[in-house]
Structure 1
Amino acid sequence: MRKLILAFGGSMVLAAPLASADVLGVGANVSYWDSELSGDVVNKGSAVDIENDLNLSSDSNANFTAYFEHPVPVLPNVRVNYASISQNGSGQIGLEAFDGILPGTDVDSELDIDQLDLTLYYEVLDNWVNLDLGLTARKLDGELIVRETFVGGRVSETTVDAVIPMGYLAARFDLPFTGVSVGGEGNLISYSGDSLHDFNVYGQYEISLLQLRAGYRQMSIDYEDDDDKMDVELSGPFASVGLTF
């Protein structure tokens, strides 16, 4: 399968460190994302509308993030993020056949997307305005299974599998003496006809070690892997709870 890989060596110098954490910092959070799904999936030249034809609906969208920050200016900070998106539904193939399944056929479908991010970043600003810049390597695994509903019916499987480099940006603005802040973060790449972006904006409240966050997230995947292609978008509100040390 076609892989899109970027070597990190030498690239990190583009994000020259201008600030660093005063002390060691460790944090983690878990979140739930209530997302709506739209777009198309292509298998060997035939396409299906995953919203209107397959009627996919959210089953579970879980997200886990952990980070480690340190006071060594030369070395980047580290952030790891894992997202698991699972959607299923029952629908009907549209006016054109999809991977050998005839138009008008009743089908059951499952869409699973797993993402594992490793982000190396620097703190460019670290006061009431916080700004991080870095690079992310995203391991993307996506699979759409479409089954004809009758016994012995045809089963179609569409998969994408890639390691994708992305730019990383995070900004946060702290309101003095309140524990309240607003911010946003995102990853982005567009290369050779493929493009991915993953952005969120949020409001946050911190009390002692506890961090509460709520906001809106949008993710778009337009990626082709051999004869399989996913062109999907997910968006909706999210909420998270975390601990910082």
Structure 2
Amino acid sequence: MIKAAISPVLAAVVVLLSASLAQGADMAPLEEAPRRPAAPGTAPFGWVFQVTPYVWAAGMEGDVSPFRRAPTVHVEKSFSDILDDLNFASFVNFWARNDRFVVSGDVIYVNITESATTGPLPIIGAVRADYDTTQFAATLQAGYRVYDTPQFTFDLMGGARYWRIWNDLNVHVTGRTFKLESEFDWLDPVIGARAHFHLTDRFSILVQGDVGGFGVGSDFTWQMLTTANYSFNDKLALSAGYKVLSVDYEDDGHVFDTTLSGPVLGMTFRF
């Protein structure tokens, strides 16, 4: 028998290695840039931008059903379980600030393929199944810095997180191929907060979280990220920490009710 976990398991696991989830998380230890003198006729402070490519070694637990009328199955996978099936993954976060106005974004793109063969079975012989999933998530938030000192900053933010998932299941039996495809997406409003503790000139702690969904897209989603950050200079820093992303989505026969958690590692470039 073909493993029941083929279709939903890795579809849910890898996409949120993120996620972002989810959603996305800001791994941005350098947003406290030196304030530049204002030029005549300009705003008091100029824009500061930073980009953070990152990885999230997340495991997943939850219930998923990526195809309509397919059974919902419980999934419990460690990060190491999915490495052999990963085709491509890209995770990028960006952050921008001008005085007290802040903008954050996060983009996740993941493609994986899992294959399994069983048999030979009576009459039909061997059966091979290939499951391919591509998942995309993008989060955009804007906010305001309500507290700003050299030792501590606190931001309030709001925005939206967009999800789109493509699934393809190909079953090869008796020289024929049977194909099942599914594609669905949703948009979640999110609200969040971000606190940055500067312990020394080079070392800081970042804590960020958000909640959303509220029945608009998913029923509910939440995210929490904590990182320790070391700044090599004004342009480059390393972040390491832990992230949890949870989402509860169910609509039109699709189920995506999962919690992902694991360590994160990112490198920030500021300009």
TM-score, normalised to structure 1, is: 0.73
Give secondary structure in 1 for the equivalent of 2:71: strand
Larger Rg: 2
Query: 1:183 Cα deviation (Å)?
Result: 1.8
Specify the alignment match of 2:110 in structure 1: 85
Of stretches 43-52 and 184-193 in structure 1, the one that deviates more from structure 2 is 43-52
Counterparts of 1:12-23 in structure 2, within 5 Å, are: 23=45
Decide which of 148, 154, 161 is 2:185's aligned counterpart.
161
2: CA distance, partners of 1:233 / 1:119: 22
Give secondary structure in 1 for the equivalent of 2:176: coil
Give secondary structure in 2 for the equivalent of 1:46: coil
Query: 1:85 Cα deviation (Å)?
Result: 3.1
Deviations 1:164-183 (A, max 9, x none): 21112211211033x11112
2: CA distance, partners of 1:133 / 1:65: 18
Give secondary structure in 2 for the equivalent of 1:191: coil
Query: 1:244 Cα deviation (Å)?
Result: 2.2
Counterparts of 1:1-245 in structure 2, within 5 Å, are: 23-24=45-46, 25-42=48-65, 43-49=67-73, 51=75, 57-58=82-83, 59=86, 60-71=88-99, 76-90=101-115, 107-127=129-149, 128-150=151-173, 151-177=175-201, 179-192=202-215, 194-208=219-233, 209-245=235-271
Q: Percent identity?
A: 20
1: CA distance, partners of 2:251 / 2:226: 30
Query: Which structure 1 segments of 5+ residues have no match?
Result: 1-20, 94-104
Q: Which amino acid aligns with 1:135?
A: G
Q: Is the 8 A contact 2:72 2:255 kept in 1?
A: no
Q: Which amino acid aligns with 1:207?
A: F
Q: Which amino acid aligns with 2:231?
A: E
Q: Is the 8 A contact 1:160 1:225 kept in 2?
A: no
Q: Is the 8 A contact 2:196 2:207 kept in 1?
A: yes
Query: 1:68 Cα deviation (Å)?
Result: 1.8
1: CA distance, partners of 2:142 / 2:190: 11
Quickly say closer, same or farther: Cα 1:199–1:87, change in 2 above 3 A. Answer: farther
Give secondary structure in 2 for the equivalent of 1:224: strand
Give secondary structure in 2 for the equivalent of 1:199: strand
RMSD of aligned alpha carbons: 2.9
